[in-house]
Amino acid sequence: MKFLITIILLLSLYGCGGGSTTGNPIATKDVNVRMQDQQPFAWIKKISDQLISPAYANVSGVKFCFKRIRFKVDSSSAGRDIELMIGEVNIDPTDTNLVTVAIPEGTYRRVEFDLQKECDGVLGKPSVSFTNNSGPFSTLDTMTIKFDGSYVVNANGTLNLNIDALLDALDLVTNDNQIKVSLENAPGDF
């Protein structure tokens, strides 16, 4: 009888499949999420811009009010979508660290940001604000910005989101009503 009870207990311990928060946790890795302009030779352009002011519109003072960040899994992956709230962030095109987060192992095909007008507990802050050569601009519009690519999480690492298309879109804005459409249509990648 003791032998039968021992076998039943062992089977119940080893027979549990899938991850949980106790006993059989889902494997996660720390991923540092960064935004940066990844145009070829972008570092040369940044140095020259510091020495000689560019003649075209230059985007500066970019702030995003993040409601959440979603990591969308590949359909063949065992991972899951992740949602994080990080608040208002000043975006430096050269390199902005957004967050370091433990993400389940798997393949991710999209990262999405929801921007909103409530940041850090303050209602009515712009979801996006910035300045270009046409002036300062801001919007209270809620929007989703998408980055597509393929990122495999199987070790601690860094996910670099290429924001050059977003900056190029903001360069062309001449009134507040253009911000949402410009950013949502910009092809972000990683």
**What tens digit of pLDDT does each residue of 113-130 get?**
899 998 888 888 999 999
More confident residue, 178 or 19: 178
> What is the pLDDT, as a whole number, of residue 6?
36
> What is the pLDDT, as a whole number, of residue 50?
58
Confidence tier at 89 by pLDDT (50, 70, 90): very high
More confident residue, 79 or 154: 154
The ranges assigned to domains in the chain are 28-189
More confident residue, 58 or 170: 170
Per-residue burial over 76-110, b = 16 or more CB atoms within 10 Å of its CB, e = otherwise: ebebeebeeebebbebebeebebeebebbbbbbbb
**What tens digit of pLDDT does each residue of 48-67 get?**
555 555 444 489 999 999 98
pTM given for the model = 0.74
Mean of the pLDDT values across residues 99-106? 87
